[in-house]
Amino acid sequence: MGRILAIDFGRKRTGLAVTDVLRIAANPLLTIETKDLIPWLTDYIAREPVDEVVIGHPTQMNGTESESMNYIRPFMGVFKKHFPNVPITMYDERFTSVLAHQAMIAGGMKKKARQDKAVVDKIAACIILEGYLERL
């Protein structure tokens, strides 16, 4: 059984999270500059069994897609060309940044550390993945 990888896609930075091989737990992995994402994924997927990728689906409160989809859709097309055998699924990412901040506060993270957007991005990816796992 392979891992499930979650992507919190951003124009500048992208947060990543991954399950263990048994798909029991979601763990923040890293935040990477988006321009480096496909080469990083190529290396990671060559080393680790990844059965599925979950990408955050940014929607507004009324359920319509946010303008971020203008960047996510092209990325998904590139992803499918590079990794045709790895299914990519969209999962609602509403409130993941808020939940990430709340998790950092609950975990006792200092204010300065909570201001690091890279940390927020990988925790948001983890929250996306946790929600997806719960839905399964």
Q: How many CB atoms lie within 10 A of CB 54?
A: 26
Across the chain, what does the average pLDDT equal? 87
Distance CA 64, CA 44 (A): 33
CATH number for the domain harbouring residue 13: 3.30.420.140
Q: Which domain holds residue 82?
A: 3-135
Q: Are 6 and 53 in contact (CB under 8 A)?
A: yes
pLDDT digits (tens, 9 = 90+) for 2-35: 999 999 999 999 999 999 999 999 999 999 999 9
How many domains, in total, are found in the chain?
A: 1
Nearest to 131 by CA among 95, 87, 104, 106: 95
Residue 24: CB partners within 8 Å, gap ≥ 6? none
Distance CA 5, CA 28 (A): 10
